[in-house]
Amino acid sequence: MIRCQLSELVEPLNAKLVGNDTSISSVSTDSRNIQAEQLFIALVGDKFDAHNFCEQAVADGAAALLVERELQVNVPQLIVEDTRIALGQLGAWVFTKMQMPKVAITGSCGKTTVKEMVASILGLKGEVLATLGNFNNDIGAPLTLLRATEQHDFAVIELGANHVGEIDYTVKLVQPDIAVVNNVAAAHLEGFGSIDGVKQAKGEIFNTLKPEGLALYNLDSQGGEMWQKKLSATRVQTFALENSQAEFYAAKIEVDEDGCALFHLHSPFGMAEIKLNIVGKHNVANAVAAAAITLNMGVLCLRLLRDFKHCSRLKAEWP
């Protein structure tokens, strides 16, 4: 996070500053892990209220608090109506100051793998801010954005959802240059109602794209017809397996004795032979998605073979 004064946050957070102005260099939502010059954010949930831990956070060295009510403590406080919303506002405020290409990725399956592939490839060209684990919801995404510094050259942000409207909220914080839907599947329908609800929720990742932005989605998956209606003013490309109607597609797919795939990647940038070091044919689709993203960010096609080898640490999984 960039260092800032509490007074700088009053306007973007619509906050009231109580106490002396001071500087902060990071934030925490966990009172058990407080560092110097840190702002402790007292989140409130259905079964918890972190205001109860503010005194401990101060005792452990928190420089200031972000709270919903004034507390009797000896550190400055920013008072807001809703700390959860303020966390998002703070993440967006920091992230908008970062002048770097920004990618947002969602999907029913494989989005974490695609995110790791993209981060690994871009890491050959510079410093990458990437979502850690699955910190991809309305709390995890802002915390990821708050890790951004001026040393980062790229941002790869994963966005998840368990209901319609969640990605609409988080993507407004990210404001990506490239937005990606890896796929849509009829899994975890509880918060969506139907497969159409899943399509709607995943398609929300395109909501903030500017005309010069890029929308990428899986042509083999559902949702494209619905999303095209909102993408008429935005650049659109697709990726697929063995479907030459997509701009990026895999052909001549083979699986070796170790279960790893070899294939030809076809794209507007040329053709390349790819050898994956992660098990599972399904990872070909993830690799094609990653290629579509990184090629559009300036990674040459001929480097993809070497770049994908850096993903060997990934597990073969279908989240």
- Say if residues 205 and 136 touch (Cβ distance below 8 Å): no
With beta carbons less than 8 A apart as the criterion, state whether 113 and 283 touch: yes
Q: pLDDT for 181-212, tens place per residue? A: 999 988 778 889 899 999 999 999 999 999 99
> What DSSP string runs through 164-197?
TTHHHHHHHHH--SEEEE----S---TTTSSHHH
Q: Count CB atoms within 10 A of the CB of residue 254.
A: 11
pLDDT in tens, 8-44: 999 999 999 999 999 999 999 999 999 999 999 999 9
pLDDT in tens, 287-299: 999 999 999 998 7
What is the distance between the alpha carbons of residues 120 and 287, in angstroms, rounded to a whole number? 12
Q: The domain at 4-90 falls in which architecture?
A: 3-Layer(aba) Sandwich (3.40)
CA 62, CA 29: separation in Å to the nearest integer?
A: 11
Does domain 99-239+284-297 fall into CATH 3.40.1190.10? yes
CA-derived radius of gyration, the chain: 21
Residue 78 is predicted with a pLDDT of: 99
The number of CA neighbours under 13 Å toward the Cβ of 4 is 18
Task: Report the pLDDT value the prediction gives residue 219, as an integer from 0 to 100.
Answer: 97
Higher pLDDT, 232 or 86: 86
Write out pLDDT tens, residues 39-95.
Answer: 999 999 999 999 999 999 999 999 999 999 999 999 999 999 999 999 999 999 999
- In whole angstroms, give the CA distance from residue 20 to residue 4: 14
CA atoms within 13 A on the CB side of 304: 30
Tell me what the mean pLDDT of segment 170-179 comes to. 99
Is 300 a residue whose pLDDT tops 70? Answer: no
CB atoms within 10 A of CB 229: 8
Classify residue 152 by its DSSP letter: -
pLDDT, the chain, mean: 92
Rounded Cα gap, residues 129 and 118, in angstroms:
11
Question: For residues 234 and 206, is the Cβ–Cβ distance under 8 A?
Answer: yes
pLDDT at 310 over 80: no
Tokens of 202: 């995943």
Domain ranges within the chain, ordered by starting residue = 4-90, 99-239+284-297
